[in-house]
């Protein structure tokens, strides 16, 4: 069975931490800070692999993490950048946000897409040396890499889709007009997954055709194989509706056409209104004049385009292919899904939003920006603590604590770092 839908978790690499180090060398009296910067975390990148046609790569592994950046080192050595993680996907894969279901990216063209960016590396203490701060004993921590949970959904990209009931000759037709070799046998549901073939009319004239596994009545409601594969018809610009006009299986081709079109309409009215060509197959063994006459009358009454063919002998198959190509020239391009998902961004650096709550007499201060600042503070260093105090005062945290009722000696907690409040 085609594996075409999967939910996976992604985490880009974290940036490496900056280093706190001081140059020490014999006969060098003023070495100074020489802590290097942390390396950048690896990103996670989706890349179209035109050799893939399913999402089986993700069947047994659902969590992916890129490499973290290395920490900085003494002598101003920069930490190693984490390697990017390249994840292959078939052409036509749609990437959706798992929580909202919104489209993040439609991988409908060859190329790369960065889904999770790696975190930046932190600065080493060499960056914090000033004429008045000659011995900085603090550095910046690396930034965390982005995390996402996404759904990968494959919708095949093909110009033409073959639709019809099981065992009407769709696979035989595809193998006749292209190099595709789907399984062919004289029983229902021989084809268990879509097959794609390139139909070449000449060196510069070609189109892509897909054999969609046989639909049955109730396919739009999940019966048979149709529910799994109706979505693969979604991008097809033109439908070739293959019907058996021989009547050898006791079916009426008119009923077959209406049954399939009804299922298409139930699944998507827009899909049902798409341009169709009727491929009346098995003409070579069609000897029931009554069936052929009523079928011809039905086709004329409904103004349908029909080509009587034999996928086995090749009769009129070239005419069908040429007609399909001419129709494609006047049809709109293959559908590409627009991006719906709006990336949530961190608060701007000058947006110091925070919350203060009183939990059992302890004033708890929280804010995303504060969490990042905490990672850059060396609480055993006096200069670093003085910097932290200035940040709290300049951002309005101290004033807000006073307004909440905090007085001298009250306990303040900021991400597990507790201190006595002093006005």
Q: What is the pLDDT of residues 370-403, one digit of tens each?
A: 877 887 777 777 777 888 888 898 889 999 999 9
> Quick one: pLDDT at residue 222?
47
Residue 336 domain flag: no
**What are the strands of the beta sheet with 238-244, ordered from one edge?**
195-202, 205-211, 160-163, 238-244, 276-281, 306-308
Domain match, 134 and 245 both: no
Residue 350 domain flag: no
Domain match, 74 and 214 both: no
| CATH number (domain holding residue 415) | 3.30.300.350
Higher pLDDT, 418 or 277: 277
Q: Tens digit of pLDDT for each residue in 9-53? A: 999 999 999 998 988 888 777 778 999 999 999 999 999 998 887
**Residue at which a domain ends, from 106, 128, 154:** 154
Q: 63 — phi, psi (to 5°)?
A: -120, 130
Cα angle value 231/234/238 (rounded, 5°) = 135
Confidence grade of residue 331 (pLDDT, cut at 50, 70, 90): very high
> Quick one: pLDDT at residue 182?
54
> Quick one: pLDDT at residue 263?
82
| CATH number (domain holding residue 325) | 3.40.50.300
> Quick one: pLDDT at residue 51?
82
Domain match, 209 and 122 both: no
Sign of CA dihedral 213, 218, 220, 224: negative
Helix (H, G, I), strand (E, B) or coil at 270: helix
Distance, first Cα to last Cα, the chain: 69
Other CB atoms within a 10 A radius of the CB of residue 318 amount to 14
Q: What is the DSSP letter of 29?
A: S
Domain match, 132 and 279 both: no
Domain match, 276 and 307 both: yes
Residue 131 domain flag: yes
Confidence grade of residue 2 (pLDDT, cut at 50, 70, 90): low
The encoded tokens of residue 200 equal: 């070449």
Q: Which of 8-12, 78-82, 158-162, 200-204 has the lowest mean pLDDT?
A: 200-204
Domain match, 297 and 261 both: yes
> Quick one: pLDDT at residue 214?
56
Residue 343 domain flag: no
The mean predicted confidence, pLDDT, of the chain is 85
The average pLDDT across 345-352 equals 50
> Quick one: pLDDT at residue 3?
79
> Quick one: pLDDT at residue 71?
95
Domain match, 211 and 320 both: yes
153-158-163-168 Cα dihedral, nearest 10 degrees: -120
**Residue at which a domain ends, from 132, 154, 176:** 154
Q: At which residue do the structure tokens 């439609």 appear?
A: 106
Helix (H, G, I), strand (E, B) or coil at 189: coil
Helix (H, G, I), strand (E, B) or coil at 101: coil
Residue 341 domain flag: no
Domain match, 184 and 324 both: yes
Residue 339 domain flag: no
The average pLDDT across 95-122 equals 94
Residue 378 domain flag: yes
Is the pLDDT reported for residue 416 higher than 90? no
**Residue at which a domain ends, from 154, 184, 205:** 154
Higher pLDDT, 133 or 96: 96
The average pLDDT across 178-207 equals 68
Q: Which of 64-78, 258-272, 278-292, 331-345 has the lowest mean pLDDT?
A: 331-345
Domain match, 233 and 372 both: no
Residue 337 domain flag: no
Let me know: does 239 contact 163? Beta carbons within 8 Å: yes
Domain match, 74 and 149 both: yes
Domain match, 290 and 379 both: no
> Quick one: pLDDT at residue 346?
43
Domain match, 226 and 314 both: yes
> Quick one: pLDDT at residue 281?
94
> Quick one: pLDDT at residue 210?
86
State percent of the chain over pLDDT 70: 90
Q: How many domains does the chain have?
A: 3
According to DSSP, the residues that pair with 88 across neighbouring strands are 47
The separation between CA 247 and the C-alpha centre of its own chain, rounded to angstroms, equals 45
Q: Residue 275: which of 289, 286, 261 has the closest Cα?
A: 261
DSSP 175-187: HHHSS------SS
Q: Tens digit of pLDDT for each residue in 265-310? A: 888 888 888 999 999 999 999 888 899 999 999 999 999 999 999 9
Helix (H) or strand (E) holding 385: helix 382-394
Other CB atoms within a 10 A radius of the CB of residue 122 amount to 26
Residue 130 sits in which domain range?
1-154
The encoded tokens of residue 411 equal: 């306990």
Higher pLDDT, 220 or 312: 312
| CATH number (domain holding residue 112) | 2.70.210.12
> Quick one: pLDDT at residue 344?
57
């Amino acid at each position: 069975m085609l594996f075409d839908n999967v939910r996976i978790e992604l985490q880009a690499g974290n940036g490496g931490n900056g280093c706190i180090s001081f140059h020490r060398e014999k006969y060098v009296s003023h070495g100074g800070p020489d802590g290097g910067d942390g390396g950048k975390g690896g990103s996670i990148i989706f890349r179209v692999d035109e050799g893939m046609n399913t999402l089986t790569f993700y069947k047994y592994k659902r969590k992916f993490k890129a490499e973290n950046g290395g920490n900085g080192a003494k002598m101003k050595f920069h930490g190693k950048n984490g390697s990017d993680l390249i994840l292959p996907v078939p052409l036509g894969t749609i990437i959706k946000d798992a929580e909202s279901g919104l489209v993040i990216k439609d991988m409908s063209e060859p190329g790369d897409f960065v889904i999770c960016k790696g975190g930046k590396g932190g600065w080493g203490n060499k960056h914090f040396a000033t004429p008045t701060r000659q011995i900085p004993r603090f550095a910046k921590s690396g930034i965390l890499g982005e995390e996402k949970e996404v759904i990968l959904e494959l919708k095949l990209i093909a110009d033409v889709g073959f639709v019809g009931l099981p065992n009407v000759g769709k696979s035989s037709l595809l193998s006749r007009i292209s190099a595709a070799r789907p399984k062919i046998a004289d029983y229902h549901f021989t084809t268990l997954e879509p097959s794609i073939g390139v139909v070449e009319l000449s060196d510069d004239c070609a189109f892509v055709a897909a054999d969609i596994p046989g639909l049955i009545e109730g396919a739009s409601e999940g019966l048979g194989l149709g529910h799994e594969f109706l979505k693969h018809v979604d991008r097809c610009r033109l439908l070739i509706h293959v019907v058996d006009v021989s009547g050898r299986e006791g079916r009426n081709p008119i009923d077959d056409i209406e049954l399939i079109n009804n299922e298409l309409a139930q699944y998507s009215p827009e899909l049902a209104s798409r341009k169709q060509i009727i491929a009346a197959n098995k003409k070579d063994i069609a000897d029931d004049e009554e069936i052929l006459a009523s079928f011809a009358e039905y086709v004329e009454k409904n103004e349908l385009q029909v080509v009587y063919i034999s996928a086995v002998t090749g009769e009129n198959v070239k005419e069908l292919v040429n007609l399909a190509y001419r129709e494609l020239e006047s049809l709109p391009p293959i559908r590409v899904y627009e991006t719906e998902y709006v990336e949530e961004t961190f608060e701007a650096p000058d947006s110091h939003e925070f919350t203060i709550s009183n939990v059992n007499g302890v004033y708890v201060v929280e804010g995303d920006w504060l969490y990042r600042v905490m990672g850059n503070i060396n609480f055993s260093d006096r200069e670093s603590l003085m910097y932290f105090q200035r940040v709290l005062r300049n951002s309005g945290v101290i004033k807000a604590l006073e307004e909440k009722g905090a007085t001298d000696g009250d306990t303040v907690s900021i991400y597990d770092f507790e201190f006595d409040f002093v006005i």
